[in-house]
Amino acid sequence: MYVKRTLASFLLLLPAFAAPPTPESHFGHKIGVDNELLDWDKVVSYFQALEQSSDRIKFKELGKSVEGRPQIAAIISSAANIRNLDHYLDIQRRLSDPRRTTPAEAARLEAEGKAIVMITCSIHATEVASTHTAVEFAYRLLTEQNPKFRAILDNVILLLEPSQNPDGVDIVTRWYRQTRGTPYDGSNPPELYHHYVGHDDNRDWYIFTQPETRNTASLENQWHPQIVYDVHQMGPNGARLFVPPWMDPVDPNIDPILASICNMIGTGVATDLYAAGKTGIAINGVYDFWSPARQYQAYHGGARILTESASAKLATPITIKPEDIAENALGYNPRERSWNYLVPWMEGAWHLRDIIDYQEIAWESILYQAAIRRSDMLRYFYQINKDNVDRASPNAFVISAKQNDPGAARKMLETLAFGDIEIQRASDAFTADGKPFPAGSYVISMHQPFSGWAKTLLEVQNYPDLRLYPGGPPKRPYDVTAQTLPLLMGVDVATVKDSFTANLKPATRYSFELDHPKPPAGFPASDVDSWREVTRIWKSGKPVYRDTATGDFYESAGNGRKEIPAPRIGMYQSYNPSMDEGWTRWLFDDFGFVQTSLHNADIQAGGLRRRFDTIIIPDQQRGQIVNGHRPGSMPPQYCGGIGEKGSAALKEFVEQGGTLILLNHASDYATQDLGVKAKNVLAGVASRDFYSPGSLLNVSLNPKSPLAYGMPERITLWSEQSPAWDAPAEDVVARYPSDHVLASGWLLGEKYLAGRAALLDVPVGQGRMILFGMRPQYRGQSYQNFKLLFNALVYR
């Protein structure tokens, strides 16, 4: 009787919960019905309502999106686990650092801890299904009573992010409702579905430019999940769902245990999908495991699992016929049975509901595998981090205190620190591998739990020469092939092979100091952060002067100094949304430049020189610039491009003294439509002969050009099949060397680049056109080459 009374008394102390609301009662329709998408505020309030109705879920706001919407996560587990989250978080922290946890202690913690699984949804906002899946699956996990769900709740702590792109959820939903039932039903919006970076919002995982990235990474840094499952969609004409194993190549800095976990879990998902009667499951196809831009956790002890589901037209169903199925895809043939595509899916109706059904099976499979192998997952996690601590080579990377561009070096150090990399600072001068380093230099030891992440960002990439068949065309990487931050940022970093002695202390996080001689009362052109000072002075209403010999900046006039007024900047914004436009807009906002977006009609109206000093056309294919959306494919106001009228207006702008800047492939518009006399030597060259799929290449600059102010004579540029020119010598600002063009990544056909131009400054009338055969602001990473672009903005 005493035990019963005590238990009864205890139960009376527990909070009383109403039944969790069904998704249908909250949203007004069942999840996954045709022609219905979700509003973000309703998604947020639904997860808040779930927290109020269950002791197995905890609602967490991670921060705000670019446009100010709440970015959220739900932590779901058993009631006992939710009550003891701090305890399990401490276990994670201890297992993540083998330097403070012995193997014996780790074995005890592995038996006690819980597997941490993070599921992230709809970072690409037109890939709408996973936010719906998150809503329905959370409800099911909290309400259904079955052995698998009980095992999951008891053994797993789920971190569920219903969307990593809250702004995009509303952008796509708003557009879908505007066009639903029209000829444009299911089309993509005529704007980026992230305020700045569009589809590149999941290429931000080592530079952290966007608040949404930082919000998610902060949760990962807190919990260090054993699994991060990233839920995506792909085109409709191949497999119904992709899941790992990944294709080659696998970054050698990813631990083999971790890569094997991906293989194990992915094949388990495929098995469970087939067992549920689903078909069209592809493994080991299309997606590789190379770039850290997409897989942060893979360098922090956790397996990155990706699924890509076939899409409908947003929430509008489609019908696929056999002739619609693609004849080939990278790594498998969607029309044929193979070891990695066992049961082809060849035809049928395809609804939003179908995507959700496939995803829910995959979610349950991943969580259940983590649950039944809970202690194994924790043991693997500890061992992966121990492998990093025990790394044999290199010993460390050293960032000298003396840098040509301290602003870029500081940003690189801040980026590494945000990624949980420990950085130390030398109190005294020291020598390592026979090279002297001054006091104040920074040291990144490779004997720390997440050293693989620092190593892959600091070293040169040697991407393998992979072909579709022997002697055939290159096997394209899923994303890019290089990420060497020292080359992107222009930072002097030394790789130290052997151990050394130095007086080192932990660096103050986000307070990195570097040495660089400054001109008296001025700001050096070589420091990218000087441009922040310049824009600040402009906004205060004061003048800025520039030394015409060095490019350094001053707040007062003097001999050899020329006033540079704040440029009036216009930037072309196509209704075929360009991520490069978004990245450029982000860069200008970040550094304090004021710019105005220009659409087709704005340019065609003419009179541009009265309003602008500089106009930028970001990286985009010429056809999209000139022609835009074809008539009938979008509402009429979004069809068409700049056209002949716009081209005439741009020519007039330059002839009257304006500066027109064209980035990367937009340069073809200048040579084909605006009269620039330069030949792109790569036009028409087959990929088997020339291929530069996101690589860092060496060039030399003309030091006499004002575009080169503050730049070293030899730099690297970012090339993605970028143009290279035969052009008059007097127009060339950057030129490729005769050999050893590749700096990092993968390059085929070096001979096509040897001695060719990569940056042109072409006088036209009273103005000039500047053609960049590169992306100088590549994904917010190429800090060294930001200065080339900024110099172009004020070049008169």
pLDDT tens for each residue of 688-741: 999 999 999 999 999 999 999 999 999 999 999 999 999 999 999 999 999 999
Mean pLDDT of 608-627: 98
Residue 210 clears pLDDT 60, i.e. is over it: yes
What is the pLDDT, as a whole number, of residue 679?
98
Paired sense of beta strands 742-744 and 303-310, if any:
unpaired
Q: How far apart are CA 593 and CA 584, in angstroms?
A: 11
Mean pLDDT of 636-656: 98
C-beta atoms surrounding 621 within 10 Å: 15
Model confidence band, residue 10 (pLDDT cutoffs 50, 70, 90): very low
Distances (CA, A) of 297 to 153, 230, 258, 450, 678: 23, 11, 10, 10, 45
What phi-psi label fits residue 541: left (phi over 0), alpha (psi between -120 and 50 degrees) or beta?
left
Residue 147 clears pLDDT 70, i.e. is over it: yes
Model pLDDT for residues 730-759, shown as the tens digit of each residue: 999 999 999 999 999 999 999 999 999 999
Q: How far apart are CA 186 and CA 587, in angstroms?
A: 31
Model confidence band, residue 515 (pLDDT cutoffs 50, 70, 90): confident
Residue 497 clears pLDDT 90, i.e. is over it: yes
Beta bridge partners of 124: none
What is the pLDDT, as a whole number, of residue 7?
45
Residue 166 clears pLDDT 90, i.e. is over it: yes
Q: How far apart are CA 50 and CA 20, in angstroms?
A: 6
Q: How far apart are CA 688 and CA 429, in angstroms?
A: 50
Q: How far apart are CA 367 and CA 229, in angstroms?
A: 10
Mean pLDDT of 599-616: 98
Task: Give DSSP secondary structure letters for 517-530.
Answer: ---TTEE-TT-TTH
User: Any residues with CB less than 8 A from the CB of 313 and at least 6 apart, and which?
Assistant: 185, 186, 187
Does an H or E element contain 211, and which? helix 211-223
Q: How far apart are CA 416 and CA 418, in angstroms?
A: 5
Beta-strand ranges (E) seen in 583-624 are 595-598, 614-617
**Contact between residue 50 and residue 21 where contact means Cβ atoms under 8 Å apart:** yes
What is the pLDDT, as a whole number, of residue 83?
98
What is the pLDDT, as a whole number, of residue 677?
96
Mean pLDDT of 662-672: 98
Residue 587 clears pLDDT 80, i.e. is over it: yes
Q: How far is CA 591 from the centre of its chain?
A: 20
Output the average pLDDT for the chain.
96
Q: Collapsing DSSP states into helix, strand and coil, what is residue 396?
A: strand
Q: How far is CA 124 from the centre of its chain?
A: 11
Model pLDDT for residues 75-91, shown as the tens digit of each residue: 999 999 999 999 999 99
Q: CA 192, 193, 194, 195: dihedral to nearest 10 degrees?
A: 50
The encoded tokens of residue 405 equal 């561009």
Residue 15 clears pLDDT 70, i.e. is over it: no
Residue 8 clears pLDDT 70, i.e. is over it: no
What is the pLDDT, as a whole number, of residue 777?
98
Nearest to 408 by CA among 485, 489, 488, 483: 489
What is the pLDDT, as a whole number, of residue 459?
98
What is the pLDDT, as a whole number, of residue 510?
74
Residue 213 clears pLDDT 90, i.e. is over it: yes
Residue 681 clears pLDDT 80, i.e. is over it: yes
Peptide bond connecting 394 to the previous residue in cis, omega within 30 degrees of 0: yes
What is the pLDDT, as a whole number, of residue 1?
35
Paired sense of beta strands 595-598 and 569-572, if any:
parallel
Residue 516 clears pLDDT 80, i.e. is over it: no
Q: How far is CA 489 from the centre of its chain?
A: 17
Helices 85-96, 103-112: crossing angle, 10 deg rounding: 150
What is the pLDDT, as a whole number, of residue 201?
97
Residue 625 clears pLDDT 90, i.e. is over it: yes
**Contact between residue 758 and residue 774 where contact means Cβ atoms under 8 Å apart:** yes
Model confidence band, residue 316 (pLDDT cutoffs 50, 70, 90): very high
The reported pTM is 0.97
What is the pLDDT, as a whole number, of residue 16?
67
Nearest to 763 by CA among 672, 678, 666: 678
Query: Radius of gyration (Cα) for the chain, nearest Å?
Result: 28
Helices 352-372, 374-389: crossing angle, 10 deg rounding: 80
Give exposure, 502-516, as e/b (b: 16+ Cβ within 10 Å).
bebeebeeeebebee
Burial bucket for residue 291 (CB in 10 Å: 0-12, 13-18, 19+): buried
What is the pLDDT, as a whole number, of residue 539?
98
Residue 207 clears pLDDT 50, i.e. is over it: yes
Paired sense of beta strands 156-161 and 288-289, if any:
unpaired
What is the pLDDT, as a whole number, of residue 123?
98
**Contact between residue 725 and residue 757 where contact means Cβ atoms under 8 Å apart:** yes
Burial bucket for residue 143 (CB in 10 Å: 0-12, 13-18, 19+): middle
**Contact between residue 534 and residue 544 where contact means Cβ atoms under 8 Å apart:** yes
**Contact between residue 316 and residue 186 where contact means Cβ atoms under 8 Å apart:** yes
Residue type, 762: V
* Phi, psi values for residue 130, rounded to 5°: -65, -30
